[in-house]
Chain A
Amino acid sequence: MREETDQQILEGLALGSRRSFRQLYERYGGLVLNTTLRLSRNREDAEEATQDAFLAMARLGNRAREIESPRAWLLRVASNRVLDLKRRLSSRPEGFIQDTGQGREDDPSNLIPMEQLLFCDARQRDVYYEKQLTDRIAALAEALPERQLLAFSLRHFQEMSLKETAEVMECTVGAVKAHLHIATGKIRKQLVLEGFLAPTTRETMEQSE
């Protein structure tokens, strides 16, 4: 199948082309679903939000031509939807929440037999430590407030530029920077508290106070 530009796909979509819709889904379906899964650990919500975003774009008809970046548009609609669903989920009864327990102290995947740690070599210990830290970063990111989570997720998990992130979040680049600074600061501080990272002298003083 010939690769079309985003604008050609939007033009096709405006004229009601199934092929253009297929191409759009193949190009951005994975990215949108991955992002929504990052924002909500609930697979059903992520899939529903992804579908809603693509359906909304297909229903635009002639107005599809007015979209500048379909990637930003889809991510914006899908992330708004998934955060909305997440909000509703948090208001559901407790037993309803699908918590994977990832990153929690009692999570069995976080535990490693002591003998294994004692007899493994330094490289293996580094790999283990890195995995633990990576999982913890992902878990702490998921616990961030919505806007900070969205900014952190788009910027660092999806590696989008500041401008693209601002476009998806419908805010200024300055606002994205502020969200990111707060989010990264929170995650780093928590990692310091949990002993993953060494505190600075200032932080040690703050903790002792």
Chain B
Amino acid sequence: MNHQELVHRQFVESVEEWLLGELDAQRDREMEIHFNSCPECARVAEQTAELLSLARSTQGITPSHARMESLYDNMMGHLEEENVFTRPQIPPRDKSAPRTLEPVRFLAVAAIFLFLLLGAGAVSSHLQRTNDFQIPYLQTSQASLLIPKEVELPLLERQRQFEEALSNRGPESSPIP
């Protein structure tokens, strides 16, 4: 199959959609231009149009009303026998509606919450009574170990100067150097 044949084939493949107006405007225009210039494809399009028009005009066999009713009665007989229409159906929960707690569930949740609250209170008071829960405060000597060296040396220096000033001061002079 050469290029020309392939082009014709592509147009013929879209004939049905073109005839039923289901192509976009650009493709529709392309098809029109091609059919105007190609009598072979135009003939295929014309014949397909006739074929589809006749197929669509054919009326199927319309069953009589009595036949349709008889079919319905037959179906209902089966369904009644199976209790399809009398079987209780559970309506599903409306997913769009917000969730609500039923009274029993609400009471159960509230009781659990209250129990936990009271339990926590009891434990806390017990710990306070037995002094097991005191924070061990640091002693001054331990605290001094935590002061970094860079801070500690000027402090010691200042303390030494202060003590020196105290020893040299008169009763009216300020203790601060």
Q: Using a CB–CB distance below 8 Å, which chain A residues touch chain B?
A: 14-18, 21-22, 25, 29-30, 33-35, 37-38, 47, 50-51, 54-55, 58-59, 61-62, 65, 130, 133-134, 137-138, 141, 152, 156-157, 159, 162, 177, 180-181, 184, 187-188, 191-192, 197-198, 200-202
Contact = CB atoms under 8 A, between A and B. Distances in A.
Given A16-B86, A34-B60, A37-B60, A141 B40 contact: no
A157 to B, nearest CB: 6
Contacts, number: 109
Given A50-B71, A188-B47, A134 B54 contact: yes
Given A15-B89, A197-B47, A33 B22 contact: no
B51 A137 contact: yes
Interface in B68-111: 68, 71-72, 74-76, 78-79, 82, 84-92
A200 B87 CA distance: 64
A105 B13 CA distance: 31
13 contacts: A15-B91, A16-B89, A21-B85, A33-B63, A37-B61, A50-B71, A61-B89, A137-B51, A138-B55, A152-B55, A157-B56, A180-B16, A191-B51
Interface residues of B, number: 39
Contacts of B47: 188, 191-192, 197-198
B48 A134 contact: no
A55 B58 CA distance: 29
Given A30-B62, A187-B51, A159 B56 contact: yes
Contact of A188 (B17, B51, B57, B86): B51
A18 B84 CA distance: 9
Contacts of A200: 40, 43-44
B52 interface: yes
A26 to B, nearest CB: 9
Interface string B108-140: 000000000000000000000000000000000
Given A30-B68, A62-B89, A138-B55, 18 more contacts: A15-B89, A15-B91, A16-B84, A16-B85, A34-B61, A35-B60, A37-B61, A47-B71, A55-B78, A130-B54, A133-B54, A137-B55, A141-B55, A177-B17, A181-B13, A181-B16, A184-B16, A197-B50
